[in-house]
Structure 1
Amino acid sequence: MSESRSNYTPRPMSSTTTYALGAVALALIVLIVIAAVRWGRDEPTVRNDGYGPVRDQAVHSMLEPSGSILLGRPDAKKTIDLFEDPLCPGCGNLERIYSQEIAQQIDVGALAVRYRLVNFLDARSQSKDYSTRAVAANQCVAEAGSGPVYAKFHSELFTTKRPSEGGRDLNNDELAAVARDAGAAESALQCITTGAKVDFARTTAMAQTTALGEALGGSAATPAVFYGTTKIDANDENWVTSLTK
């Protein structure tokens, strides 16, 4: 390798120039960091946006003895178990992104969902029992049997009506109002306002939390989706279509 030499001797850089270039470099770094943060926060695309909740009147909701809620057609090909806490932000995101895609698969009989609702975020609600009361409200509405009504109520409660942790939550009358808007029967509204299922909800939600902890090897975290004993990666944007192929 040849090396060329020059008699040119560079002049020392002034402190003013050094500070100016340093400021430019710092500004560039800040811009890069901001761009990276924004890129990392890009919201996933809502799947099947515009479909809405379950539509088919042949879809039923059933409150099981365990407190789980089964939503689907009697001839559904596959059933998944979905663990959620009504106060959980991640559960809200899952519902916001995938609930319409899931609803369509429920309508065509490709999928049924067993909602296994937990209440370990009670302490993070202002009322200190919101998760339990919201689980009870879900059970009241599901027991009436209408799939479209329950699907609409569940979707609203986990998305647009979901309180923030530590913020003001919904009292029983407000939970009943959400159910009324979803088309719930008067018996379901009375069930919610009187708190008729709160004790049942507390017991079943705690049992579901224990089951979730066992399924996850000791740590209960929501949302969690299972097909049988297989945990589904809900971070994979194609997980619903992969299940229903």
Structure 2
Amino acid sequence: MTSGRPQDARMSKNERREAAREKAKQLREQQRKKDIRNRAILIGSLSVVVVAIIVGVTLVIVSTLKPAGPGPANMASDGIVIGENFVAQTTPGLQPGESPVAAATSDPNVADIRVYLDYMCPYCGQFEATNNEQIGQWVSSGAATVEIHPISILDRGSQGTKYSTRSANAAACVANYSPDQFWAFNTLMFQNQPEENTSGLDDDTIKGLVSQAGAQNLDQIDSCIDDGEFKSWVADSTSRALQGPLPGTSEEKVTGTPTVLVNGQKYSGSLTDANAFSAFVVQVVGSAESTPTPTPVPAG
């Protein structure tokens, strides 16, 4: 006969203590297993997140970094040579890993003017505004050639838009697909030069200047600009210019823009005095009789 009292009331003190210990052990084991499951779920979730991040970063890198391809045609020296009547010298594009080849110069009486420039550089803008007209006269008449090297050293000055690289790439696109309009395009780029530390011209505006320059193959040039077809070349040619040596001159490397060479000799005079630059050309070429004509005048 039972009295109706709970069973554990009949347990001894030691039995109750042992039962409590066993219960606590079971609870601890249940909690341990729960912790293991939660940890496994957390690690699995973090792994999925990490893999997703890695995949995302990889896709971004693959989509933005293209393997190095050939450089633009007509720029085997890393610059484009413009001659009489603004006709460009034609050359194949540099293959990856190839070194630039100095443009051939045959007539010592023809001034060989080379300009390394950045389209964001205000000093390049000063030189162009001062001397574009007189250089254009010399080139048109055959008294000089001008070799233009667009490089990218001022991306930091365009609020993250990498204007120097984009504009140099656009110049390479014109050189590749419509070289005889390069001089006109280069002139327009400086006539519309943005101020440093602004976002620069957007790609659509640059494409508008390409059209205004009378370039041919506009669809190909537009795609070239949109795709950044020659951005790898811009980076490589800029590195070559900054590290040197510069082909066809004793000048070791570009230390700033504009770097202007006449028959291989560096011009260090005023950027805002057309007569100073003309006098330098006269001196380098050797005599007034063999100097480009007509006589330069300061740009208005």
Q: TM-score range by the shorter chain?
A: 0.5 to 0.7
Mapped to 1, the partners of 2:79 and 2:260 lie a distance apart of 14
The aligned residue for residue 171 of structure 1 is 202
Q: Contact (CA 8 Å) 1:212, 1:220: kept in 2 or not?
A: no
Amino acid at match of 2:239: M
Mapped to 1, the partners of 2:244 and 2:187 lie a distance apart of 24
- The CA deviation at 1:134 is 0.7
CA-to-aligned-CA distance 1:153-204 (integer Å, 9 cap, x gap): 101112x321111112122222111111111221223212222112222211
The answer as to 2:264 corresponding to 1:233 is: no
SS in 2 for 1:63: coil
Q: Contact (CA 8 Å) 1:127, 1:169: kept in 2 or not?
A: no
1:223 maps to which of 253, 258, 275: 258
- The CA deviation at 1:142 is 1.7
Q: Contact (CA 8 Å) 1:173, 1:192: kept in 2 or not?
A: no
Mapped to 2, the partners of 1:128 and 1:209 lie a distance apart of 22
The aligned residue for residue 213 of structure 2 is 182
The aligned residue for residue 91 of structure 1 is 124
Mapped to 2, the partners of 1:127 and 1:212 lie a distance apart of 30
The answer as to 2:182 corresponding to 1:150 is: yes
1:205 maps to which of 218, 222, 238: 238
- The CA deviation at 1:221 is 1.3
Mapped to 1, the partners of 2:232 and 2:262 lie a distance apart of 29
Mapped to 2, the partners of 1:212 and 1:174 lie a distance apart of 35
Amino acid at match of 1:152: A
Q: Percent identity?
A: 25
Give the total of aligned pairs.
183
Mapped to 1, the partners of 2:238 and 2:161 lie a distance apart of 15
Mapped to 2, the partners of 1:167 and 1:208 lie a distance apart of 25
CA-to-aligned-CA distance 1:49-97 (integer Å, 9 cap, x gap): xxxxxxxxxxxxx722243111113687232211111111010011111
- The CA deviation at 1:218 is 7.0
- The CA deviation at 1:108 is 0.5
- Give the unaligned 5+ runs of structure 2: 1-72, 90-105, 286-290, 293-300
CA 1:103–1:219 in 2, change beyond 3 Å: closer, same or farther?
closer
2:168 maps to which of 127, 132, 135: 135
Cα root mean square deviation, aligned: 2.7
Mapped to 1, the partners of 2:261 and 2:204 lie a distance apart of 33
The aligned residue for residue 107 of structure 1 is 140
Moved over 4 A (4+): 212-219
| TM-score computed with the length of structure 1 as normaliser | 0.66
Q: Contact (CA 8 Å) 2:130, 2:274: kept in 1 or not?
A: no
Q: Which deviates the most, 84-93 or 161-170?
A: 161-170
Mapped to 2, the partners of 1:215 and 1:128 lie a distance apart of 35
1:70-81 to structure 2, matched below 5 A, reads 70-73=81-84, 77-81=110-114
> Which structure dedicates a bigger proportion of its chain to helix?
2
Q: Contact (CA 8 Å) 1:119, 1:209: kept in 2 or not?
A: no
Mapped to 2, the partners of 1:218 and 1:105 lie a distance apart of 26
Mapped to 2, the partners of 1:212 and 1:119 lie a distance apart of 17
The aligned residue for residue 69 of structure 1 is 80
CA 1:155–1:88 in 2, change beyond 3 Å: closer, same or farther?
same
- The CA deviation at 1:105 is 0.4
SS in 2 for 1:64: coil
Amino acid at match of 1:97: T
- Give the unaligned 5+ runs of structure 1: 1-61
